[in-house]
Each structure stands twice: as structure tokens, then as C-alpha cells.
Structure 1
Amino acid sequence: MRPYQFSQERITGQDTSLPAVLYQLYAARLLSYLRRHLPDISDAEDVLLEIFVAVLEHEQTLAKRTEDEQRAWLWTVARNKVKDVRKRLARRPLLVMLEQASEMPEDEGEMPEAVTLREEAHRSLHLNIQKLSSVQQELLELRFGYGLNHMEIAATLHKREGTIRTMLSRTLDKLRTFYARNEGENSHGRKRK
């Protein structure tokens, strides 16, 4: 594969160096990922800075890679940096990791029933995802939360693409089983009343 050539149309700023272009393309999504996995916004911002310092240090190597390989490299670095911060925080027992709940924007014109149903569906999904292993949760997050493809997830998790496809398929099957089981319990409970 040829190294990825950035086109002028994709570049929004004046600086066309590889680190600047990668920052413009991926910083917002990486920061979103970091904020979700780290307890403090300042930790997330610090890690984002560390990621792009690593980009500067590896600029020549990254320049020879395709865009997909560069993106996978960024996500791998981000994931590893999150692990490092978590290890460091785990050594400080008074600091508790808080999960940031994603807030769903409400349309003021929506009917209260629709809002309630949407919130109930979101809660149900969240509860079912919590039943999955941490690896399965991470797979779903990388695929659907951050839009990475199978190849990028494979590179990020240091696994083969076929393995990722299988794992993701099994994870989705497991989620479907949870939903089917919940539906069965709900309909069974209604019949008893």
C-alpha cells in the first residue's frame, strides 16, 4: 500500500505538516474517547497532548503509513495511555474513577412519552452493555461509538481482523440474547398479573 497523501480539501488550516493534519482530523474524537475513560477533563487533555507529542516523535515513521494505519496507530496510543493513567490512579486509593454518563439532547417540542420511551431504551441498552465483558464493551465502543472499522480495531487491540469480526459478531449476538431474555421476562411477567 502507498502512504496516504493528504488532499488540500481535507485540510482546514494553514499548517499541512503530518502532526497538524492528524490533529485536525482526529483530536476531537480522541478527546471524546479520553474524557469518557478518564475521571478528569484535565487528565484527558494531558493525555491528548501526550498522544500528539508521540506523533511528533514518530512523524517520519507515520508518514510512510496509510491513513488507516495512522488512525489505528493513534487509537492504539490513546488506549495505551488510558491504561497507563488508570494504573497510576489506581495507586491512589482516595481518587475514585467516575463514569461520565452521556446525556441525550432533548428536543423541546418532543412529547413526554417519546422522551420517556427513548430514555427507557437508552437505560436498557446501557444495562445490557454493562453485562458484557470489558473487552466486548470496548469493541462496541470502538466500532459504534468512534466509528472504527474492523481493521482499525484489530490494529488497536493487537488482534487479527478475522478475530475482531468474530468477537464483534458474538458480542452483538449476546446483546440480542439479553434483549430476547428481557422481552421474555417482561411478557411472562405481564401474563401473571
Structure 2
Amino acid sequence: MRPLDTDELQNVEKDMLYERFAETLLAYLCQQVSHRQDAEDLLLEVFLAALQNTSLARFPARRQLAWLRRVARNKVIDHYRHRGLFTIQPLGQAPEIEDQDLTPEQQAEEQEKWAWLLQTIEQLTPVQRELIRLRYVQEMHLTQIAVLLGKSEGTVRKMLSRTLRHLKALYEQNERR
């Protein structure tokens, strides 16, 4: 049996890298995005980046995992930025950006939805309304909001997530009436 050359050795090490860390990274990615398929796509992107890093195989396992987690985190951020270009806009500008090709009936329905949303936002607590305003009207980042509120970024993220879930539930409840 002949010894492995450098390229073959690196390929074996990268296969081991996948076997060692794929499950951990996939679990993280599944927590960060809504669909498993998106998480699997991001996992693929992470390991494609790992293939391009020739020095990664020489790192100790802990440093490899840290590097892969950082890449995974950046891929999640890129994922939401890309989606954000298409779906997230400041709340105050949304009615102005509406599709001008809508029929008058569709425009009336859209205006009604915006009215329902604004009424629903009024049902939130003052803290929840402020959080929505800072994030979506002022377009502040979670880190900026955390500093402003004197809370950790993780706490603000949870507060915002809970507020959005609550807002959605209230909106759907109001819409059924």
C-alpha cells in the first residue's frame, strides 16, 4: 500500500472534518433558520468554505469547530440579509412601496391589512411597541437596541421573537373577527 500524497491526505482530513462536526453544525443551523432544507444548504456552504481553507486541517479540533461555527454564523447572517432584501422594509415605508399594479380591490385589501396591523400593534405593551419601533421603524440592530435598553443582545433577541409571535397571534385573532 502506497502512502497518501498531500492532496489525498487533506481530502481524508476534510472528510473526517465533516463526519466530526456536521451534526453539531446542522443542529445549530436548524435553530437559526425556519426550514431544515435551508439549514442543509447552509451546511453545504460551510463545508465548501472549509474545502477552500487549506490550513483548516492543521488546526486542533476545538479551533476547527470554532472556525466552522463562525463560518456557519456568517452564512446565517448572509441568508437573512439576502432574504431581507426582498422581505424586510421599514414599517413606515411599506404602504408607499406597495405594488402599483394592484387592482383597486387589491389595494383596498392591502390598506385594510395595514390598518389591522397598526391596530394590532396598539394592543402590544409599551415595551413591545418600542421594541418594534426601534427594530423596524428606526432600523436599529439588536446590539444597538440592547445597549439602549441596558439588556444583553440575547435577551433583546428573545424579547423581539416573543413580541413578533404575540403580534402574529393577535393579528390572526383580529383578522378572524
Which TM-score applies when normalising by structure 1?
A: 0.40
- Determine which structure has greater relative contact order: mean sequence separation of CA pairs < 8 Å that are 6+ residues apart, divided by chain length: 1
Which protein is bigger by CA-based radius of gyration? 2
Which TM-score applies when normalising by structure 2?
A: 0.44
